[in-house]
Amino acid sequence: MGAFRAQQTMNMANQQMQMQMQMQLSRNWLKSAGSGDDYEVTFKDSSKKKITSFMYTDTVLHKNFIVLVDKKFAKSDSLHRNRKIYPGETLSITYLSGFNGESNLNGAPVDSCWRFRVITGQLTVYGKYPDGYEEEFPASAIIAIQLKNAPEVTYSETTLGQLIANDPKAVQQFNKKKYYKAIMKFNYDAEK
Protein backbone atom coordinates (compact mmCIF):
# COMPACT_ATOMS: atom_id res chain seq x y z
CA MET A 1 0.00 0.00 0.00
CA GLY A 2 2.90 2.36 0.74
CA ALA A 3 4.34 1.87 -2.75
CA PHE A 4 0.96 2.69 -4.27
CA ARG A 5 0.69 5.91 -2.25
CA ALA A 6 4.25 6.88 -3.20
CA GLN A 7 3.42 6.32 -6.90
CA GLN A 8 0.23 8.38 -6.59
CA THR A 9 2.14 11.18 -4.85
CA MET A 10 4.80 11.15 -7.60
CA ASN A 11 2.14 11.27 -10.33
CA MET A 12 0.41 14.19 -8.61
CA ALA A 13 3.71 16.05 -8.21
CA ASN A 14 4.50 15.57 -11.93
CA GLN A 15 1.09 16.85 -12.97
CA GLN A 16 1.39 19.88 -10.70
CA MET A 17 4.86 20.66 -12.10
CA GLN A 18 3.57 20.49 -15.67
CA MET A 19 0.64 22.75 -14.79
CA GLN A 20 2.94 25.27 -13.10
CA MET A 21 5.30 25.31 -16.10
CA GLN A 22 2.35 25.87 -18.47
CA MET A 23 1.02 28.65 -16.23
CA GLN A 24 4.45 30.31 -16.10
CA LEU A 25 4.73 30.17 -19.88
CA SER A 26 1.22 31.58 -20.22
CA ARG A 27 1.93 34.37 -17.74
CA ASN A 28 4.92 35.58 -19.76
CA TRP A 29 3.42 35.19 -23.23
CA LEU A 30 4.25 38.76 -24.28
CA LYS A 31 7.98 38.13 -23.77
CA SER A 32 7.98 35.29 -26.30
CA ALA A 33 5.38 36.62 -28.77
CA GLY A 34 6.44 35.86 -32.33
CA SER A 35 8.46 32.76 -31.46
CA GLY A 36 7.47 29.12 -31.17
CA ASP A 37 5.87 26.78 -33.69
CA ASP A 38 4.51 27.56 -37.13
CA TYR A 39 0.76 27.40 -37.72
CA GLU A 40 -1.57 28.26 -40.58
CA VAL A 41 -4.87 29.50 -39.19
CA THR A 42 -8.13 29.61 -41.13
CA PHE A 43 -10.40 32.21 -39.56
CA LYS A 44 -14.19 32.12 -39.58
CA ASP A 45 -14.27 34.59 -42.49
CA SER A 46 -12.19 31.98 -44.48
CA SER A 47 -9.08 34.17 -44.48
CA LYS A 48 -5.79 32.41 -43.75
CA LYS A 49 -2.77 33.62 -41.85
CA LYS A 50 0.59 32.04 -41.05
CA ILE A 51 1.43 32.55 -37.38
CA THR A 52 4.52 31.68 -35.35
CA SER A 53 3.54 31.21 -31.73
CA PHE A 54 3.67 28.91 -28.76
CA MET A 55 0.36 27.36 -27.68
CA TYR A 56 -0.64 29.13 -24.47
CA THR A 57 -3.38 28.57 -21.91
CA ASP A 58 -5.47 31.46 -20.66
CA THR A 59 -5.75 30.62 -16.95
CA VAL A 60 -8.77 32.90 -16.46
CA LEU A 61 -10.87 31.70 -19.42
CA HIS A 62 -9.42 28.15 -19.34
CA LYS A 63 -8.85 28.23 -23.10
CA ASN A 64 -5.84 27.73 -25.32
CA PHE A 65 -4.66 30.55 -27.54
CA ILE A 66 -1.89 31.51 -29.93
CA VAL A 67 -0.52 35.00 -30.51
CA LEU A 68 -0.67 36.86 -33.82
CA VAL A 69 2.05 39.52 -34.01
CA ASP A 70 0.95 42.39 -36.29
CA LYS A 71 4.18 44.14 -37.24
CA LYS A 72 2.26 47.16 -38.61
CA PHE A 73 2.14 48.37 -35.03
CA ALA A 74 5.13 49.52 -32.98
CA LYS A 75 6.58 47.17 -30.36
CA SER A 76 5.56 49.67 -27.70
CA ASP A 77 1.89 49.29 -28.78
CA SER A 78 1.49 45.77 -27.39
CA LEU A 79 -2.30 46.12 -27.21
CA HIS A 80 -2.61 46.23 -31.01
CA ARG A 81 0.62 44.47 -31.98
CA ASN A 82 -0.03 41.20 -30.10
CA ARG A 83 -3.47 39.67 -30.59
CA LYS A 84 -4.63 36.50 -28.84
CA ILE A 85 -6.34 34.04 -31.20
CA TYR A 86 -8.77 31.64 -29.49
CA PRO A 87 -10.26 28.45 -31.00
CA GLY A 88 -13.72 30.04 -31.30
CA GLU A 89 -12.36 32.58 -33.81
CA THR A 90 -11.14 29.89 -36.21
CA LEU A 91 -12.41 27.21 -38.58
CA SER A 92 -9.18 25.23 -38.38
CA ILE A 93 -5.50 25.39 -37.50
CA THR A 94 -2.65 23.51 -39.15
CA TYR A 95 0.56 22.76 -37.29
CA LEU A 96 3.31 23.22 -39.88
CA SER A 97 6.29 22.09 -37.82
CA GLY A 98 5.76 18.40 -38.55
CA PHE A 99 4.92 15.52 -36.25
CA ASN A 100 5.52 11.76 -36.40
CA GLY A 101 6.61 11.94 -40.03
CA GLU A 102 3.64 14.07 -41.09
CA SER A 103 4.46 17.42 -42.64
CA ASN A 104 1.27 19.06 -41.35
CA LEU A 105 -1.14 18.24 -38.56
CA ASN A 106 -4.66 19.70 -38.70
CA GLY A 107 -6.54 20.83 -35.64
CA ALA A 108 -10.24 21.51 -35.26
CA PRO A 109 -11.58 24.04 -32.78
CA VAL A 110 -13.52 22.72 -29.81
CA ASP A 111 -14.85 24.84 -26.97
CA SER A 112 -11.60 25.45 -25.06
CA CYS A 113 -8.83 24.32 -27.41
CA TRP A 114 -7.94 22.91 -30.80
CA ARG A 115 -8.24 19.13 -31.19
CA PHE A 116 -5.26 17.45 -32.89
CA ARG A 117 -5.03 13.77 -33.84
CA VAL A 118 -1.73 12.98 -32.13
CA ILE A 119 -1.70 9.16 -32.34
CA THR A 120 -3.23 7.27 -35.25
CA GLY A 121 -3.94 3.57 -35.36
CA GLN A 122 -6.40 1.02 -34.04
CA LEU A 123 -6.69 3.37 -31.07
CA THR A 124 -6.62 7.02 -32.12
CA VAL A 125 -5.78 9.71 -29.57
CA TYR A 126 -6.80 13.38 -29.80
CA GLY A 127 -4.94 16.01 -27.80
CA LYS A 128 -4.94 19.74 -27.00
CA TYR A 129 -1.43 20.23 -28.35
CA PRO A 130 0.04 19.11 -31.67
CA ASP A 131 3.41 17.93 -30.37
CA GLY A 132 5.35 16.94 -27.32
CA TYR A 133 4.12 13.35 -27.16
CA GLU A 134 7.07 11.06 -26.74
CA GLU A 135 7.72 8.55 -23.99
CA GLU A 136 5.34 10.19 -21.54
CA PHE A 137 2.60 12.73 -21.95
CA PRO A 138 0.31 14.39 -19.45
CA ALA A 139 -3.12 12.84 -19.36
CA SER A 140 -4.49 16.36 -18.97
CA ALA A 141 -3.48 17.05 -22.60
CA ILE A 142 -5.67 14.24 -23.97
CA ILE A 143 -9.18 15.21 -25.03
CA ALA A 144 -10.63 12.07 -26.58
CA ILE A 145 -9.83 8.54 -27.75
CA GLN A 146 -11.40 6.45 -30.48
CA LEU A 147 -11.27 2.71 -31.10
CA LYS A 148 -11.39 1.76 -34.82
CA ASN A 149 -14.49 3.28 -36.38
CA ALA A 150 -16.36 3.63 -33.09
CA PRO A 151 -17.38 7.10 -31.98
CA GLU A 152 -14.90 9.25 -30.07
CA VAL A 153 -15.21 9.11 -26.31
CA THR A 154 -13.96 11.57 -23.72
CA TYR A 155 -10.61 10.45 -22.36
CA SER A 156 -10.25 9.00 -18.90
CA GLU A 157 -7.84 6.43 -17.50
CA THR A 158 -10.77 4.10 -16.92
CA THR A 159 -11.93 4.37 -20.54
CA LEU A 160 -8.41 3.79 -21.84
CA GLY A 161 -8.07 0.71 -19.62
CA GLN A 162 -11.34 -0.69 -20.91
CA LEU A 163 -10.41 -0.15 -24.57
CA ILE A 164 -7.04 -1.92 -24.31
CA ALA A 165 -8.18 -4.67 -21.90
CA ASN A 166 -7.84 -7.42 -24.56
CA ASP A 167 -4.10 -6.85 -25.02
CA PRO A 168 -2.16 -8.21 -21.98
CA LYS A 169 1.13 -6.50 -22.91
CA ALA A 170 -0.59 -3.14 -23.35
CA VAL A 171 -2.36 -3.67 -20.01
CA GLN A 172 1.04 -4.28 -18.37
CA GLN A 173 2.21 -0.84 -19.55
CA PHE A 174 -1.11 0.70 -18.54
CA ASN A 175 -0.76 -0.71 -15.01
CA LYS A 176 2.68 0.94 -14.78
CA LYS A 177 1.01 4.28 -15.75
CA LYS A 178 2.93 4.25 -19.06
CA TYR A 179 -0.08 5.29 -21.12
CA TYR A 180 1.82 6.26 -24.26
CA LYS A 181 3.59 2.89 -24.33
CA ALA A 182 0.30 1.11 -23.65
CA ILE A 183 -1.39 2.84 -26.58
CA MET A 184 1.56 2.25 -28.92
CA LYS A 185 1.77 -1.42 -27.89
CA PHE A 186 -1.96 -1.85 -28.43
CA ASN A 187 -1.75 -0.26 -31.90
CA TYR A 188 1.33 -2.32 -32.82
CA ASP A 189 -0.30 -5.58 -31.73
CA ALA A 190 -3.52 -4.70 -33.59
CA GLU A 191 -1.59 -4.33 -36.86
CA LYS A 192 -0.20 -7.90 -36.66
User: Per the domain annotation, does 173 fall within a domain?
Assistant: no
Helices and strands of the chain, counted as H and E runs: 5, 11
Is residue 6 a part of any domain in this protein?
Answer: no
Asked whether residue 118 is domain-assigned, the answer is yes
For residue 96, tell me if it sits in a domain.
yes
Q: How many domains does the chain have?
A: 1
> What's the domain range around 119?
15-155
Is 184 part of a structural domain of the chain? no
Confirm whether 179 is domain-assigned: no
Residue 74 placed within a domain? yes
CB 112 within 8 A of CB 96: no
pLDDT digit string (tens) for the chain, length 192 residues: 666 666 667 666 666 666 555 555 555 555 455 557 889 999 999 999 999 988 888 888 889 999 998 888 887 777 788 899 999 999 999 988 655 545 678 899 998 999 998 888 999 999 888 875 555 667 778 899 999 889 999 999 999 999 999 999 999 999 998 888 899 999 999 987
